[in-house]
């Protein structure tokens, strides 16, 4: 085959074989250009940029480097220094860029000796580093995301059914009307209202997929970089700011909308994730920020698309304000949170923050009650200049690994979500990314935020910062394409990339519960060990939970079913991100304990996975502490059960949001307890009677009342993909007061005795009561006399998490959703 090489001396053609080492090509090129300095020889696939040193390529065959018949390479080199021994000659050589003083003479003596039989082996003399051959390139060690590996193994073509009007062939034939389309087909994207190509479809459009990384020595992608090259590649002048030339200064920038996006869709695994963030604003009136923890998966609604599935939100330390917030990035626990998320199979995929303001701050207009102001729209801004700079900085710190980039990284899959008001006064989520140009401009420190939120300012060249010419294009009122200078300002929209969002039709969250207090919400959601132990005690009780291997055949029939129910309920309690993150900070659970806990929280296995946790010594210590918070059997005659005795041994901290037990944490609240041993009354669940840790008179306590709900999930339509398949809205009602009322009523109906229930009192936080069954005094409930045994009725299976609840239950014991 023939390989073409273009140099400063002209074009050359060299007959070689694909199995030959590139050293043979280098040798023949040096013979054709005798004045070339071998130590400065570089190769590239393009006239400018992407140069690779010839010495680094030795030891690879032409086939391995992706060089085929007719391939055109661009070679560059410096001329040899004059053969002079005095220091003056060495100075001239160094000035021409041939080497650096002390090693220039040794580098000039480097030669390549080929065997007479034509074998492709090299012999390098002293003065050349042999370690450069074995040095791996950055893109070779890039560990790509699994979703990118998945799509790169697929052809990505869009299938089409047989056209009933135009197809005149059999079922196994194909024509122009039914043949599959390429993933970058413009007509398909226009028909389905897809604004941006997916990243992998963008690679296919550039025909990069045919150039496999294992066979290409020059990656086709090169990240944008608008900084001055220091030192200058020419080596003919001092570095900037003392001097600059065309080889070291960046080219002029023309801003254009990015045709592709790294992430096409953001999917929140459960609406309660958004509701928990909104609860803080409803309770305090200040804004809130959180990092999105999730994973990347294929998105079938876009050709070769990628979606970010959000499973949890981690809130760093911050100071919220009415019109903004203050936080530090990275925060102190970021490394710990990232490692814990990795153990759960997650990573930081983006960020979310609220920007909400009541439509009527004075609360005087009844028509605007429960509505929020619309601050972000086409006539104002979508992301302010300050937010764009912040997003660009976080995207630059979370780059996406790629084997098609010469640096091993290209762009970022980090997304930015904003909770803000719509024109109808509802609350909606907007998802964005900033373009690669925005990341490069922020990295080069050439832009800054403006007082006007919808424009960006371009800085002037000053000191070590060099700002090239910046332009942007737009269509004026006469439908003419205009190119205008971006100095001093340009619109923010040129740096934005829209991303769709939504919820799954059938939620299957990774974490089954989200009721444990959220971190860094001091005064509103306080986390402490007593509260965590109370949550575990609601399931463990006074009995130790043993592994199935230890129990063996000790439990049979009804007892075994009851033990399995306890295990499943414990898994539901532990499957809470905020609880798992808090237990890691307590110092009780070790590394092995946390690994087993993360497996239980994400796999939801109540058998082998839970047994692995129960056998850990750290967990056994935590379980022993939790059993101290369990309710103690009452000593009243007849197995009476004491309910609502504040501060007594029968009160425990409620599950994920109630108060803690006496002596364990402040803010104890009324709790129902299990029946005493031997009692035959109807079973009752341990449920919270109040929410929060403070008094009901505190206006900052969020009581979870659904009447305060103003979040419109109907806004979560996939506005970008117009295929008519919108995400089904999920309205979640977490009303613990109704749960307790239903449990008490079912318990009373199954008891032969007369039960008088203790009311929530002043600490109930406005809970709804049934006047026929709730009193104002603390009373006791007498257990009914034993009756003849009857077959136990089958329980209710939760359609959301599949947990089998009691037949009288109105809501699921694990996820809290209505049955």
| Long-range contacts from 185-188, C-beta under 8 angstroms, 24+ separation | 185/158, 185/303, 188/158, 188/303
Q: How confident is the model at residue 784 (pLDDT cuts 50, 70, 90)?
A: very low
Is the sign of the CA dihedral 547, 548, 550, 555 positive or negative? positive
Common-topology check for domains 2-135 and 254-502: no
Q: Residue 603 is encoded by which pair of tokens?
A: 């796999």
180 against 780, higher pLDDT:
180
Highest mean pLDDT among 157-171, 216-230, 442-456: 442-456
Residues 720-726: what's their mean pLDDT? Answer: 43
**Helix residue ranges per DSSP H, 520-616:** 529-540, 548-551, 558-574, 577-585, 591-603, 608-614
Residue 433: strand, helix, or coil: strand
DSSP calls for 349-377: EEEEEEE--BS-TTS--GGGTT-B----S
Q: What is the mean pLDDT of the chain?
A: 75
Highest mean pLDDT among 456-465, 686-695, 746-755: 456-465
Instruction: Identify whether the C-beta of residue 204 lies closer than 8 Å to the C-beta of residue 157.
Output: no
pLDDT at residue 212, as a whole number: 57
Give all strands of the β-sheet with 10-15 in edge-to-edge order: 10-15, 2-7, 72-76, 42-44, 52-53
Instruction: Identify whether the C-beta of residue 687 lies closer than 8 Å to the C-beta of residue 811.
Output: no
Domain 2-135 matching CATH 3.10.20.90: the answer reads yes
760: Cα separation from own chain's centroid:
41
100 against 609, higher pLDDT:
609
Instruction: Identify whether the C-beta of residue 278 lies closer than 8 Å to the C-beta of residue 418.
Output: no
Residues 646-659: what's their mean pLDDT? Answer: 33
pTM value? 0.65
Is pLDDT of 793 > 70? no
**Which of 378-392, 419-433, 696-710 has the weakest average pLDDT?**
696-710
pLDDT at residue 213, as a whole number: 53
pLDDT at residue 504, as a whole number: 93
Q: How confident is the model at residue 796 (pLDDT cuts 50, 70, 90)?
A: confident
Residues 190-218: what's their mean pLDDT? Answer: 78
Is pLDDT of 177 > 60? yes
Phi-psi region of 431 (alpha: psi -120 to 50; beta: other; left: phi over 0): beta
Question: Where in the chain are the domains?
Answer: 2-135, 254-502, 529-794, 795-819
Is the sign of the CA dihedral 787, 792, 793, 795 positive or negative? positive
Strands 10-15 and 780-781 come out as unpaired
- Give, in words, the CATH class of 254-502: alpha beta
CA dihedral defined by 675, 680, 683, 689, rounded to 10 degrees?
A: -40
CA distances from 35 to 217, 301, 356, 453 (A): 26, 58, 69, 58
pLDDT at residue 83, as a whole number: 53
Is pLDDT of 750 > 80? no
Is pLDDT of 680 > 50? no
131: Cα separation from own chain's centroid:
38
């Amino acid at each position: 085959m023939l390989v073409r090489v273009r140099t400063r001396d002209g074009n050359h053609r060299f007959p070689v074989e694909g199995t030959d080492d590139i050293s043979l090509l280098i040798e023949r090129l040096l013979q054709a250009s005798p004045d070339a300095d071998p130590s400065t020889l570089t190769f590239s696939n393009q006239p400018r940029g992407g140069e690779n040193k010839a010495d680094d390529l030795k030891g690879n065959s032409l086939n391995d480097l992706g060089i085929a018949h007719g391939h055109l390479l661009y070679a560059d080199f410096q001329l040899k220094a004059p053969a002079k021994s005095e220091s003056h000659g060495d100075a001239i050589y160094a000035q021409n860029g041939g080497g650096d003083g002390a090693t220039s003479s040794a580098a000039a003596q480097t030669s390549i000796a080929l065997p007479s039989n034509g074998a492709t082996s090299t012999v390098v003399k002293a003065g050349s580093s042999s370690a450069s051959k074995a040095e791996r390139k950055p893109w070779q060690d890039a560990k790509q995301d699994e979703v990118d590996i998945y799509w790169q193994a697929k052809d990505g073509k869009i299938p089409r059914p047989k056209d009933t009007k135009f197809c005149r062939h059999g079922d196994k034939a194909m024509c122009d009307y039914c043949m599959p389309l390429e993933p970058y087909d413009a007509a398909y994207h226009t028909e389905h209202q897809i604004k941006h190509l997916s990243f992998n479809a963008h690679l296919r459009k550039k025909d990069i997929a045919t150039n496999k990384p294992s066979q290409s020595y020059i990656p086709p992608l090169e990240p944008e970089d608008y900084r001055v090259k220091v030192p200058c590649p020419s080596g003919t002048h001092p570095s900037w700011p003392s001097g600059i030339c065309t080889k070291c200064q960046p080219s002029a920038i023309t801003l254009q909308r990015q045709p592709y996006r790294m992430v096409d869709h953001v999917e929140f695994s459960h609406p309660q994730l958004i509701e928990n963030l909104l609860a803080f604003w409803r309770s305090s009136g200040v804004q809130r920020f959180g990092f999105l923890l999730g994973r990347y998966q294929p998105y079938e609604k876009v050709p070769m698309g990628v979606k970010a599935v959000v499973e949890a939100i981690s809130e760093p330390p911050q100071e919220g304000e009415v019109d903004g917030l203050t936080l530090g990035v990275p925060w102190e626990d970021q490394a710990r949170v990232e490692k814990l998320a990795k153990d759960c199979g997650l990573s930081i995929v983006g960020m979310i923050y609220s920007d909400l303001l009541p439509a009527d701050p004075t609360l005087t207009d009844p028509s605007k009650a429960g509505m929020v102001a619309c601050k972000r729209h086409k006539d104002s801004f979508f992301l302010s200049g300050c937010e764009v700079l912040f997003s660009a900085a976080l995207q630059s710190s979370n780059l996406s690994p790629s084997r098609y980039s010469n640096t091993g990284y290209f762009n970022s899959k980090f997304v930015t979500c904003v909770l803000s008001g719509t024109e109808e006064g509802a609350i909606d989520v907007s998802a964005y990314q900033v373009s690669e140009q925005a990341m490069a401009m922020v990295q080069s420190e050439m832009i800054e935020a403006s007082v006007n939120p919808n424009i960006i300012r371009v800085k002037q060249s000053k000191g070590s910062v060099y700002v090239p010419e910046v332009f942007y294009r737009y269509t004026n009122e006469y439908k003419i394409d205009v190119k205008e200078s971006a100095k001093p300002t340009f619109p923010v929209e040129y740096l934005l990339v829209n991303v769709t969002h939504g919820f799954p039709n059938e939620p299957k969250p990774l974490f089954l519960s989200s009721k444990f207090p959220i971190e860094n919400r001091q005064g509103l959601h306080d986390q402490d060990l007593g509260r965590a132990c109370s949550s575990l005690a609601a399931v463990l009780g006074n009995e130790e939970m043993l592994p199935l291997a230890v129990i063996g055949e000790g439990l049979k029939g009804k007892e075994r079913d009851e033990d399995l129910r306890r295990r499943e309920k414990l898994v539901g309690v532990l499957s809470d991100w905020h609880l798992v993150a808090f237990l890691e900070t307590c110092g009780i659970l070790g590394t092995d304990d946390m690994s087993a806990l993360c497996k239980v929280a994400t796999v939801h296995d109540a058998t082998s996975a839970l047994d692995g946790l129960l056998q850990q010594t750290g967990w056994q210590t935590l379980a022993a502490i939790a059993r101290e918070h369990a309710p103690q059997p009452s000593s009243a005659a007849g197995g009476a059960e004491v309910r609502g005795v504040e501060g007594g041994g029968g009160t425990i901290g409620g599950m994920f949001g109630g108060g803690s037990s006496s002596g364990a944490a402040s803010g104890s609240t009324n709790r129902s307890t299990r029946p005493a041993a031997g009692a035959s009354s109807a079973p009752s669940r341990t449920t919270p009677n109040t929410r929060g840790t403070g008094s009901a008179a505190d206006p900052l306590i969020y009581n979870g009342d659904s009447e305060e709900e103003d979040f419109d999930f109907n806004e979560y339509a996939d506005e970008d993909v117009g295929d008519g398949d919108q995400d089904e809205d999920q309205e979640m009602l977490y009303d613990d007061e109704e749960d307790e009322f239903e449990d008490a009523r079912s318990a009373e109906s199954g008891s032969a005795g007369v039960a008088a229930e203790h009311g929530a009192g002043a600490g109930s936080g406005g809970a709804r009561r049934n006047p026929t069954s709730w009193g104002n005094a603390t009373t006791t409930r007498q257990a009914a006399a034993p009756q003849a045994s009857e077959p136990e009725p089958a329980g209710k299976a939760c359609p959301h998490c599949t947990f089998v609840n009691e037949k009288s239950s109105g809501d699921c014991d694990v996820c809290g959703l209505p049955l």
